[in-house]
Structure 1
Amino acid sequence: MSSAPRDPFFPADASIRSSAAPISVRELGLIDYEEAWRLQAELAKQRGRDEIGDTVLVLEHPSTYTAGKRTQPSDLPQDGSTVVTVDRGGRITWHGEGQLVVYPIIKLADPVDVVDYVRRLEEAIIEAVRAVGVPTAGRIDGRSGVWVPHTTLAADPAAPRRDRKLAAIGIRVTRGVTMHGLAINCNNSLEAYEHIVACGIDDADVSTLSLELGREVTPDDIARPLLPALDSALAGTLAVADHTFASAPDPSKGLRKAAQ
């Protein structure tokens, strides 16, 4: 197994936020991807100038492919679908109805620790996903996001059988302020993923909470445990723990940034 990331800059029980004020949560419902992106950018500028406090946007998007900075031509859909080129890290992914999307606009404490921030997002997701009934959810060393191991059989026989991703993370940090964030597959269709190499990974699968549990799990269902877990993870009251069950190559390691 490859070595773990370096020790975080902050103790596990310390806040990673620069502010102790409560986080404002804005529920936006179904919103166009590019409209939400523009809103994020404006809020991030305001947060950087301390005109607003930390804010979390909670929403869903209509069906949209988005390509991060490391997306490769071979990742792209071959059916002519439109792809939005975006300023986050990572490669291509998909957003759509039935998937919970959360964009934290957070000013991080100095020194800014991007790796620890991602680990804390993962910890919040793991906490929430386990709370709704997937106790084996965890990490694959070398890959971001939250996964279920192939040794766990999903309740729905239609679910994939390899290691499978339930939640993706793609972020941007500018002047200490975060943008973009996380997406958790709840009761969305997986059909759109068939046309791309999601996150540049072709040796694992994508799943949903509904397939894993054999019952309908909506974005609202997972938002309820996720939002308090996210607050706690950023504050350090929910400490990052070792939930790693496997190791795999980083799909973006060594790749040049694609032309934007």
Structure 2
Amino acid sequence: MTAPRDPFFPADQSIRASTAPIDVRELGLVDYQQAWDLQADLAAKRARDEIGDTVLVLEHPSTFTAGKRTQPEDMPDPSYPVPVVGVDRGGRITWHGEGQLVIYPIIKLAEPVDVVDYVRRLEEAIIEAVRLAGVRTAGRIDGRSGVWVPSTTPAADPAAPTRDRKVAALGIRITRGVTMHGLSLNCDNTLDHYAHIVACGIDDADVTTMSLELGRRAPPAEMGPLLVDALRRALAGELVVANHSFASAPDPSKGLKKRRS
């Protein structure tokens, strides 16, 4: 998806405020609230220049997270045995769980902060990693965030969904020029829990995993190094944002009121 305006920085220029190496922390399985608290602490320290840019790489136990634009009809039945956490990122509700790779960049962006360019660079990093792993047609749907596989691409596993399907989701927050939250890539996780929500507010498309698309296990341990390297290069301008759009669709969050706390 091309941005509605030219980015503030040339495509081959870093959007980080620092040139120091990024500190990558692989944390394993971490409770969602614990990870959120850690993010908030690191982001505050990064804003004060007490630490450098940091990327958290982890998985969560099964949890629904409801972004600021989540609507009542998106939510699971209250009796469903998976916790729902209201969060301060954009977007609507999604699911996190074991087998899904989650990456939280705590990055101080260069001034002037360009939120659109940051999101596009995250998407570019995911597209690069997913294509390197073998899902060659992964790209964007204009009007919707995240990374998608088109319906015209048959998955290797016949159990996979057949409509346009999201393999990676994004949800960010930027405070004092520092990013929080980030991205999740479905690797070899179950899709069962998505059936109990309207994921990201989208009911005319599906979700998928790397394992379903490739017809083999593609765990977070395999995808993590690919995605972290692509993220580093995208933020640095070494991996230039390109037009990978294959469709367009309505923005599921446009015009919606924010969720009440």
Same fold (TM over 0.5): yes
1:142 alignment partner in structure 2: 143
1:69 alignment partner in structure 2: 68
| Contact 1:87–1:172, Cα closer than 8 Å, also in 2 | yes
1:129 alignment partner in structure 2: 130
Rounded to whole Å, the distance in 1 between the matches of 2:40 and 2:133 is 32
2:23 alignment partner in structure 1: 24
Superimposed CA distance per residue, residues 25-75 of structure 1 (whole angstroms, 9 cap, x where no aligned partner): 001000000000000000000000000000000000000000000000000
Rounded to whole Å, the distance in 1 between the matches of 2:247 and 2:70 is 24
Counting only pairs closer than 5 Å after superposition, residues 67-106 of structure 1 correspond to structure 2 as 67-81=66-80, 82-106=83-107
- SS class of match (1:28): strand
Rounded to whole Å, the distance in 1 between the matches of 2:59 and 2:240 is 28
Rounded to whole Å, the distance in 2 between the matches of 1:180 and 1:167 is 14
Letter in 1 for 2:169: A
- Identity rate of aligned residues, in percent? 75
1:184 alignment partner in structure 2: 185
Shift of 1:4: 4.6
Letter in 1 for 2:220: P
1:49 alignment partner in structure 2: 48
The number of residue pairs the alignment matches comes to 259
Rounded to whole Å, the distance in 2 between the matches of 1:119 and 1:178 is 14
1:251 alignment partner in structure 2: 252
Pair 79,211 (structure 1): closer, same or farther in 2 beyond 3 Å: farther
Letter in 2 for 1:148: V
Rounded to whole Å, the distance in 1 between the matches of 2:218 and 2:208 is 12
Letter in 2 for 1:198: A
Shift of 1:258: 1.1
1:232 alignment partner in structure 2: 233
Where does structure 1 differ by over 4 angstroms across 4 or more consecutive aligned residues?
none
Rounded to whole Å, the distance in 2 between the matches of 1:139 and 1:145 is 7
1:120 alignment partner in structure 2: 121
Unaligned stretches of 5+ residues in structure 2: none
| Contact 1:67–1:92, Cα closer than 8 Å, also in 2 | yes
Shift of 1:6: 1.7
Superimposed CA distance per residue, residues 206-243 of structure 1 (whole angstroms, 9 cap, x where no aligned partner): 00000001000000111121111100000001000000
Letter in 2 for 1:50: D
Letter in 2 for 1:77: P
Q: CA RMSD in A?
A: 1.0
| Contact 1:4–1:141, Cα closer than 8 Å, also in 2 | no
Name the TM-score, length of structure 1 as normaliser.
Answer: 0.98
Pair 134,3 (structure 1): closer, same or farther in 2 beyond 3 Å: closer
| Contact 1:79–1:195, Cα closer than 8 Å, also in 2 | no
- SS class of match (1:119): helix
Rounded to whole Å, the distance in 1 between the matches of 2:71 and 2:203 is 13
Unaligned stretches of 5+ residues in structure 1: none
Rounded to whole Å, the distance in 1 between the matches of 2:79 and 2:235 is 39
1:10 aligns with 2:9: yes
Rounded to whole Å, the distance in 2 between the matches of 1:169 and 1:194 is 19
